[in-house]
Structure 1
């Protein structure tokens, strides 16, 4: 069985879990929580970077990060979330934009969670917030098309928006009604989105 090392609140772990569900592979994956701050957690032996998500294969080798893992799962399933031709690059671009949005949001959270108040860099936080704002504005201006079966770009975007709901109390919603409608449609069509929502 494959083992996914992740955290319930991770948008990138959530991306892997939704991709696995869409591809029909979730029953082949054991999900094991990882503590990235614990030096004793085997995660640091499984992934020298000590980051999540990390996928442990049946032979003990590991894959990371989420982009590599979802490519592997798509390969394992014989395809399904990565289109071919020029559409593939449109999906990879959307995944990169969504992952970048998620990264910038995550870095803002880490700045307040792990750095003492007197050491925080307001300009650096504002720079990360600007990335989130510009990404949301671009996506609001042209929300992605949504086929019957979600592809990797749409999955990544839903997870990034879900993370903004979790850690920023959904403040993005007021100024992005088209994205809100898009995410609501995604949630209806992809039950794994609600099933993987962090409820802690």
Structure 2
């Protein structure tokens, strides 16, 4: 299988951590692509008409895209380790969706600064995206800590990748302030080998 990726994408990082945690590294070839909404990589376009990463090219079926689709596929292939059955499954899926929402808002903030001409940027729009992140993080801190501290699942991986991306691109926003429980959880989780080995390049 071929995984189209960029090392700074939090959506890609979710998949790379899943691959490591489920022991599928030897089965996944990484194809590095440089793509933005304004300039799609031709290799990626051939695999995913939406030109988004990650995209997983399979030998026995169409290319999969959207990180949650890829995560579900690879987890099933790896023995159903990260999506629990029963009532907890819905909590895991909700946590993963919350994490993806944080990522989306943080990526949009990054694009606004990097891709839009300065005279056309909307600070109030950026702050609207940050408000989504703040609310989601506060909810994780007050509502979801028992789930985050349970057995490893895809919700935890997603949340860790989302928080790490906020640190990476928007560290000056100091999301930890007032979220002590979540900050303590993340400090421990980010020391996992799979997190350390998938950290984005700095600079």
Match of 1:75 in 2: 76
User: Gapped runs of 5+ residues in structure 1?
Assistant: none
Given that residues 35 and 41 in structure 1 are in contact (C-alpha distance below 8 angstroms), is that contact kept between their aligned partners in structure 2?
no
CA contact (8 A) 2:33 2:41 kept: no
C-alpha deviation, 1:29, in angstroms: 0.7
Alpha-carbon distance in structure 2 between the residues aligned to 1:40 and 1:109: 19
Q: Which moved more, 1:166-175 or 1:179-188?
A: 166-175
CA deviation string 1:80-122 (max 9, x = no partner): 0000011100000000011101110110010010000111122
SS of the aligned residue for 2:150 comes to coil
Over 4 Å off, 4+ runs:
none
Q: CA deviation at 1:187?
A: 2.5
* Residue 41 of structure 1: aligned partner: 42
Match of 2:155 in 1: 153
CA RMSD of aligned residues (A): 1.5
Gaps of 5+ in 2: none
Cα distance, 1:54 vs structure 2:
0.5
Count of aligned pairs: 197
The answer for the alignment partner of 1:6 in structure 2 is 5
Distance 1:6 1:40 in 2: 11
1:174 equivalent in structure 2:
177
Structure-1 separation of matches of 2:148 and 2:168 = 24
- Structure 1 partner of 2:166: 164
